[in-house]
Amino acid sequence: MKTLKTLTPICLALLLSGCMVGPDYHRPSADVPLQYKEAKGWQRATPLDAQPKGEWWRVFNDPELNRLMPQVVLSNQNIAMYAAQYRQAQALAAQSKAALFPSLGISADSTRSGSHTNSRPVTRTVSNSHSAELTASWEVDLWGRLRRQRQEDQASASASAAELANATLSAQSELAQDYFQLRFLDQRIALYQQSITAYQGYLRVITNQYNAGSVDRGTLAQAQMQLSSTRSTALDYQWQRAQLEHAIALLVGKTPAQFSLPPAPLQASLPQIPVSVPGSLLQRRPDIAYAERNMAAANAAVGVAIAGYYPDLTLSASGGFSSSVLHNLFSLPERVWSLGPSLSGTVLDFGATSASVEQAKASYDASVASYRQAVLTAMQDVEDNLVELNTLHQEIDAQQQATQAAIDSARVTRNQYNAGMIDYLDVATTENSSLSARQSLISLQSSQWLTSVALIAALGGGWDSSQLPDAPSNSHPSQ
């Protein structure tokens, strides 16, 4: 008891002093430029508050997309998997928090035992034993091992939340891109159907002319080839559209047989996307937040490993009753108790603890490299989409002019053919050029929309690291 009275104040003093081995976490700096290289001429600077937040897809103003997108969170099974992993990480963090407090237990036991001898005289011995006991145990966190473990688990839970957000954003952007690609395929298929109808009319006229002997077999074959080739391409787009519809069904958690998206004109509008400054990506990209929180967890793991050098102190106590007679069990004379500290540590482990510390430090260094690589990759994503959108804008302007010229040329050629001034071969050539030019324009416009979605996703899609649970305020780097 004297020893216990001596140790208790010392233990409490050490505990309250907040001794924690291992390095405190400070987020390492990352090489972030002041502005994007490809943002020159993109648009005038827009405040960060103007960026889409939350339901970022609504900036496209498409009713069908707005209807589909919430189903990703509700029904997508990949997201459900990440959500379950996040709940698991939360439970682990709660478990490590509970380890900081004493644990209480209760036990009750009742046994009857006996012995029998065959010697003369025969003896039989029977004894009863009854006990009821309440136990308490508390591991005193002298060196901060439990607190570092809690930091690690909390950071891991935050990383899991960021991973969930990243998976959700990825699925949402994939859905938006598949949806817009499908709508532009609807336009391409409709354009081919118009061309097929026109070519069928040409073929009927030329067949009549061939039967009348006014055109040769080559002209008829040319008209047949043009119609069949156009039908073949239209059928090719049909299966592409079907596969996109299947992909959308999977993203909203349905089988292809359960989902249908009829052809319809695109009702959306292309938004102006503010890009803000590169430094904002550190808060707005969930994949960067995931890498940063993993880095914080790895830093705390170093402290956990270093604590292995020091002994663990556990305070335990128990009290209860023990009696051979059940009805006397809870009487005062039958009480039993115990109280005392337990100190345990490793004297010789042949370098195992040192190896664990080196492993934890190497893991932290790897997480730092992973974080910095995530930042670099994020910068590349934004720069790539910016330069693509800038170039596509110029391409579309040029292609619109080329398309209009091809349409005018085809119209003139049709009039000349109807007037008997030229052969059908000239008509087929200009019609093919017109169709190709219009398809190229739709293809460029589709790329513009898909890249717009990719840029919003690259900018974080309206997500912010403040949404993470237990995100420490001192984790932001100095710029």
Which pLDDT tens digit goes with each residue over 433-464? 999 999 999 999 999 999 999 999 999 988 88
Asked whether the beta carbons of 281 and 292 are under 8 A apart, the reply is no
Residue 211 makes CB contacts below 8 A (sequence gap 6+) with none
- Hey, what domains does the chain have and what are their CATH numbers? 18-102+142-311+352-474 (1.20.1600.10)
Token pair in block for residue 24 = 């405190």
Let me know how many helices (H) and strands (E) the chain has, helices first.
10, 4
Which pLDDT tens digit goes with each residue over 275-301? 778 888 888 899 999 999 999 999 999
Handedness of CA 138, 140, 145, 147 (dihedral sign): positive
Residue 402 makes CB contacts below 8 A (sequence gap 6+) with 437, 440
What phi-psi label fits residue 145: left (phi over 0), alpha (psi between -120 and 50 degrees) or beta?
alpha
21 three-state secondary structure:
coil
Residue 140 makes CB contacts below 8 A (sequence gap 6+) with 11, 14, 15, 313, 314, 315
Which pLDDT tens digit goes with each residue over 48-101? 444 555 789 999 999 999 999 999 988 889 999 999 999 999 999 998 988 888
Token pair in block for residue 395 = 């391409």
In this model, does residue 338 exceed pLDDT 90?
Answer: no
Q: Give the model's pLDDT for residue 48.
A: 44
Lowest mean pLDDT among 103-112, 134-143, 395-404: 103-112
CA dihedral 451, 454, 458, 460 (to 10 degrees): 130
Quote the CA–CA distance of 182 and 240 in Å, as a whole number: 8
Q: Which helix (H) or strand (E) holds 286?
A: helix 286-306
Confidence band of 356 (pLDDT split at 50, 70, 90) = very high
Quote the CA–CA distance of 144 and 150 in Å, as a whole number: 10
Residues 312-329: what's their mean pLDDT? Answer: 69
> What is the Cβ-side half-sphere exposure of residue 80, based on CA atoms within 13 angstroms?
9
Most confident of 103-117, 208-222, 371-385: 371-385
Q: Give the model's pLDDT for residue 32.
A: 83
- What is the longest distance spanned by two Cα atoms in the chain? 138
**Residue burial 120-155, b: 16+ Cβ < 10 Å; e: rest:** eeeeeeeeeebbbbeeeebbbbbbbbbbbbbbbbbb
Which pLDDT tens digit goes with each residue over 4-19? 444 455 555 454 445 8
Residue 221 makes CB contacts below 8 A (sequence gap 6+) with none
Asked whether the beta carbons of 431 and 198 are under 8 A apart, the reply is yes
**For residue 244, what are the CA distances in angstroms to 72, 160, 170, 318, 444?**
16, 30, 16, 67, 18
